[in-house]
């Protein structure tokens, strides 16, 4: 069973046609990279997957359930672009709050999530006193604390220093090895190499899909950036 199954999804905001018949699916335990420039529709797609937006056409199925469906969200983790945390609360309180919403009240799970992102010595620190990188790590902890089967990450490494970025991708790989499916959006092409499969997105359409090697081969280019431009050029001809 595919963890995410998107078929011919359309989403409009007034005059803006943000998703134009996009189809895509992810397999269990893979890291799927959603690549495309700003404004390509990556965030809209992720919000549609979690059910924040209802598409006008097409269907979104998550873990076998057609979205929007609140109940399936307890098996999903969603990390927004900006770290969404409660500044007045401590590290522990933030993780415990989001865990509680997902029906996970296990203290050892909370401790494990905080430990996973390396914030064990900051448990009682209020978020307001954390550095930007720590907040980003805490944000990840709040997303994975309830051991979801699917994690959606909207540009998780924006504004993250190179060292932490490497750490993040190690975390992602560890989660995937445990059977978690990850959908990661990015506009940084060098991160794409770390994904199992990639989807190139532009103007609300999926331009091409496959592993980094496959995409380079099909485009006949040496790097992904050029491959993206080749596919974008082909798409421009078609439409």
Closest CB 86 distance from another protein, rounded Å: 6
Does the protein bind another protein through residue 78 (CB under 8 A)? Answer: yes
Which CB sits closer to another protein, 62 or 215?
62
Closest CB 212 distance from another protein, rounded Å: 29
Which CB sits closer to another protein, 127 or 176?
127
Does the protein bind another protein through residue 120 (CB under 8 A)? Answer: no
Which CB sits closer to another protein, 62 or 201?
62
Does the protein bind another protein through residue 66 (CB under 8 A)? Answer: no
Residues 6+ apart with CB under 8 A from 237: none
Which CB sits closer to another protein, 81 or 167?
81
Does the protein bind another protein through residue 51 (CB under 8 A)? Answer: yes
Does the protein bind another protein through residue 98 (CB under 8 A)? Answer: yes
Closest CB 177 distance from another protein, rounded Å: 25
- Could you write out the three-class secondary structure of the chain? CCCEEEEEEEEEECCEEEEEEEEEEECCCCEEEEECCCCCCHHHHHHHHCCCCCCCEEEEEECCEECCCCHHHHHEEEECCCCCCCCCCEHHHHHHHHHHHCCCCCHHHHHHHHHHCCCHHHCCCEHHHCCHHHHHHHHHHHHHCCCCCEEEEECCCCCCCHHHHHHHHHHHHHHHHCCCEEEEEECCHHHHCCCCEEEEEECCEEEEEECHHHHHHHHCCCCHHHHHHHHHHHHHHHC
Does the protein bind another protein through residue 80 (CB under 8 A)? Answer: yes
Give the residue, chosen from 6, 31, 45, 50, that forms a contact with another protein under the rule CB under 8 A.
50
Does the protein bind another protein through residue 70 (CB under 8 A)? Answer: yes
Site residues, another protein (CB under 8 A) = 47, 50-52, 70-71, 73-74, 76, 78, 80-87, 98, 101-103, 142
């Amino acid at each position: 069973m595919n963890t995410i199954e998107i078929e011919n999804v359309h989403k409009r905001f007034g005059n803006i046609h943000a998703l134009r018949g996009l189809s895509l699916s992810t397999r269990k335990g893979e890291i799927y990279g959603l690549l495309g420039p700003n404004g390509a529709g990556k965030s809209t797609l992720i919000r549609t997957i979690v059910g924040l937006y209802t598409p006008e056409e097409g269907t979104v199925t998550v873990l076998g359930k057609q979205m929007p469906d609140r109940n399936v969200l307890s098996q999903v983790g969603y990390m927004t672009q900006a770290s969404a945390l409660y500044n007045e609360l401590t590290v522990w309180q933030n993780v415990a709050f989001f865990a509680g919403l997902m029906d996970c009240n296990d203290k050892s799970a909370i401790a494990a999530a905080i430990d996973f992102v390396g914030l064990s010595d900051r448990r009682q620190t209020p978020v307001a006193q954390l550095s930007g990188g720590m907040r980003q790590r805490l944000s990840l902890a709040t997303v994975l604390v309830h051991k979801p089967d699917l994690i959606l990450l909207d540009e998780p490494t924006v504004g993250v220093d190179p060292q932490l970025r490497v750490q993040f991708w190690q975390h992602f790989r560890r989660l995937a090895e445990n059977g978690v499916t990850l959908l990661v959006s990015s506009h940084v092409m060098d991160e794409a190499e770390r994904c199992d499969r990639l989807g190139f997105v532009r103007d609300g359409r999926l331009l091409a899909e496959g592993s980094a090697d496959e995409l380079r081969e099909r485009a006949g280019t040496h790097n992904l950036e050029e491959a993206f431009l080749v596919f974008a050029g082909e798409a421009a001809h078609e439409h």
